[in-house]
Structure 1
Amino acid sequence: MSRDALVFYSPVDDPVAWREALTAELPDLDFRVDPEVGDPADIRYALVWVPPKGFFARFPNLQLVTNLGAGVDALVRRDDLVPVKFSRLNDPGMVAMMTSYVVFAVTRYARDIPVFERAKRRGEWDYVHPRALSDIKVAVLGLGELGGPAARTLAAMGFTVTGWSRSKKDIEGVSSETGRDGLERVLAGNEIIVSLLPLTPESRGILGARELALMPKGAKFVNASRGAVVDEAALIAALRSGHVGEATLDVFETEPLPPGHPFWTLDNVLITPHLASITVPKLAARDVAESIRRVRQGLAPLHEVDPGRGY
């Protein structure tokens, strides 16, 4: 007899925590951790993060794929998936973690912390007079489920914030720009640029040499979205020349970032290993369970992804 089973795969998430959280919500769910999947025909649902090539081809009755994160670009381009429903996680814990990362990165630059870090290594007292936060112009590229709250929080802290997105957004304290002209204005008019763009065919490589050159000399760049939205070679050149003064990078074209990559040697780059926002099973399991309940009833899951748009 066929069973209603879910397969779990992630190289970084804890399957025990997810099993406990999800079966508390859905006691009848058969939770299986790859590679111990039993009969592949039982698998109706997949809860995954960066599964290997060919992963989904084993499961002929798959109905729903839920991504263990907000970015689903790696899933919508695969060739081993039959038509299924896609959903992404959007839990309060993930939003709070991303907001905290962006606030940290922006505040670090706003308060000149890299200057003091370097001064400490030299053993020197290097005073830089603080500036009012309202004098510091910050741009957030991407005002979606993660970018919107981050921009709103920065504005509430007192920064002067502009957002750029596919469509106009109404966020308290945040100016909203759209379109190519809007992107160019945003890049030219802000000293700290934060990318929270989803990776889509339109956003891939959207920040190239021409776009980086629009930024004010010495601008600070924070990327917590996807590495491929930026031309890495162009960014390296801009960082070496000082046109981009500093960067905080959580994401890269190749992950883990390979040994010997130029980013490792640049003193003006802070590297974190793709952890700006992670999912908290206890908080996210409710949404995953509700999506499964909806698919069982023939309805769309929560936070459904449109593969054509890529988000």
Structure 2
Amino acid sequence: MTGTSDTIFLAVTGWDPEVWLSEFAKNAPQRKLVLNTDTDKEKVRYALVWKQRPGSLADLPNLKVIFSLGAGVDHVFHDDKIPDVPIVRIVSPDLTMRMTEYVVWQVLDHHRLGLRYRQQQAGKVWHEDRRQPAAHEVNVGILGMGVLGRDAALKLRNLGFKVSGWSRRPQTVEGVISHSGNDGLRDFLKDADIVVSLLPLTPDTRGILSMNLFAQMKTDGPLGAPVLINAGRGGLQNEADILAALERGMLSAVTLDVFNKEPLPKDSALWTHPQVIITPHAAASSSPSALVPEIIAQIESYERGEPLKNIVDREAQY
């Protein structure tokens, strides 16, 4: 089929490629990893991509597989000249745990009134009569029950939270109330006190975190109005609608790790809003040292004639 003399093309923007080159040299010194294909077009069998330049994969006649180096794959489809070969999502225990850590951290921070206490500390205010609900009184709803969503759901369930999940297709996760489809989304939103978005960015989900969705949420709960946490993709959210929902009391607080434009512009009102927590797309950064062995293992199994894992559905775009 293929062999270790085949070339691997690293097509990334916004990342230092030297770290990936170093990890490949350490883990697979027999394989050739290149940053351009000027002299290797015929030999390239695999491409590792993150926000690749449009058209950069189009003239590789023997390309067999494209590997996305991030949890999401929407960046791959920004290129309208993607070759018709399998696209593989990275599913790594390291990446999954990093996202779960982030989700649990932010859920607990909102649950335990972190924003309020930081504001009180800044103002040197001692105020101790605020009731703290127990975890079992709070329903955490997770939008997107893929690998990342399922793992976060189980960890939150183990902490005692009521957990529900929503996905396009039905999912079954022990101890988690599952919803799916349009009707299921309405039921999901009626119950969730904290909504965590881990959805992929597709034509169907773009802009889903908007006033239309916020208007379907419950109006009160143990934390007051619902909390929104988006650690999925920036294109899922309408940032003007999030600010409006905060001002109208439809949301009590939000955590945003991703944005429509990154870095977030300095003039964005999100930076200084007292009910907004911002992190710089740091929820689950891809670690070359963890991911390179996973990619090599996939390539080796493919070369043995075994089926690829985690292939992206091109129509659904995840």
Same fold (TM over 0.5): yes
Residue 18 (1) aligns with residue 20 (2): yes
Residue 184 (1) aligns with residue 186 (2): yes
Contact kept, 8 Å, 1:138 with 1:194, in 2: the verdict is: yes
Structure 1 residue identity aligned to 2:281 = H
Q: CA deviation at 1:241?
A: 2.2
Contact kept, 8 Å, 1:85 with 1:300, in 2: the verdict is: no
Q: For residue 149 of structure 1, what is the aligned residue in structure 2? A: 151
Which range moved further: 66-75 or 125-134?
125-134
Q: For residue 8 of structure 1, what is the aligned residue in structure 2? A: 10
Q: CA deviation at 1:157?
A: 0.6
Partners in 1 of 2:251 and 2:13 — Cα distance?
Answer: 33
Which range moved further: 40-49 or 248-257?
40-49
Partners in 1 of 2:90 and 2:317 — Cα distance?
Answer: 14
Q: CA deviation at 1:291?
A: 2.4
The two structures have a TM-score, normalised by structure 1, of: 0.91
SS at 1:222 equivalent: strand
Partners in 1 of 2:264 and 2:38 — Cα distance?
Answer: 31
Partners in 2 of 1:280 and 1:296 — Cα distance?
Answer: 24
SS at 2:57 equivalent: helix
Q: CA deviation at 1:146?
A: 0.6
Provide, for residues 121-177 of structure 1, a one-character-per-residue CA deviation record: whole Å limited to 9, x for no partner.
111112223221101111001110111100110001101111111222222221111
Provide, for residues 206-254 of structure 1, a one-character-per-residue CA deviation record: whole Å limited to 9, x for no partner.
2321211122342110001112222222222112222211110011122
Q: For residue 271 of structure 1, what is the aligned residue in structure 2? A: 278
**1:145–1:93 Cα change, 3 Å:** same
Partners in 1 of 2:60 and 2:278 — Cα distance?
Answer: 37
Q: For residue 248 of structure 1, what is the aligned residue in structure 2? A: 255
Q: For residue 222 of structure 2, what is the aligned residue in structure 1? A: none
Which range moved further: 54-63 or 205-214?
54-63
Provide, for residues 53-98 of structure 1, a one-character-per-residue CA deviation record: whole Å limited to 9, x for no partner.
3332353332211111111012135212221211111111000000
Q: CA deviation at 1:261?
A: 1.9
Q: For residue 115 of structure 2, what is the aligned residue in structure 1? A: 114
- CA RMSD, Structure 1 to Structure 2 (Å): 2.2
Aligned match for 1:290, one of 286, 294, 297: 297
Matches within 5 A, 1:171-250: 171-217=173-219, 218-250=225-257
Structure 2 residue identity aligned to 1:258 = P
Q: CA deviation at 1:24?
A: 4.4
Which range moved further: 189-198 or 172-181?
172-181
Q: For residue 46 of structure 2, what is the aligned residue in structure 1? A: 45
**1:31–1:188 Cα change, 3 Å:** same
Provide, for residues 91-118 of structure 1, a one-character-per-residue CA deviation record: whole Å limited to 9, x for no partner.
1100000000000110000000100011
Identity %: 35
Structure 2 residue identity aligned to 1:251 = V
| Structure 2, unaligned runs of 5 or more | 220-224
Q: CA deviation at 1:36?
A: 7.8
Contact kept, 8 Å, 1:246 with 1:268, in 2: the verdict is: yes
Which range moved further: 107-116 or 36-45?
36-45
The structure carrying a bigger helix percent of its residues is: 1
- Aligned residue pair count: 309
Contact kept, 8 Å, 2:11 with 2:53, in 1: the verdict is: no
Partners in 2 of 1:79 and 1:13 — Cα distance?
Answer: 22
Contact kept, 8 Å, 1:21 with 1:285, in 2: the verdict is: yes
Contact kept, 8 Å, 1:250 with 1:272, in 2: the verdict is: yes
Structure 2 residue identity aligned to 1:207 = L
Residue 304 (1) aligns with residue 311 (2): yes
Partners in 1 of 2:145 and 2:197 — Cα distance?
Answer: 10
Which range moved further: 115-124 or 201-210?
201-210
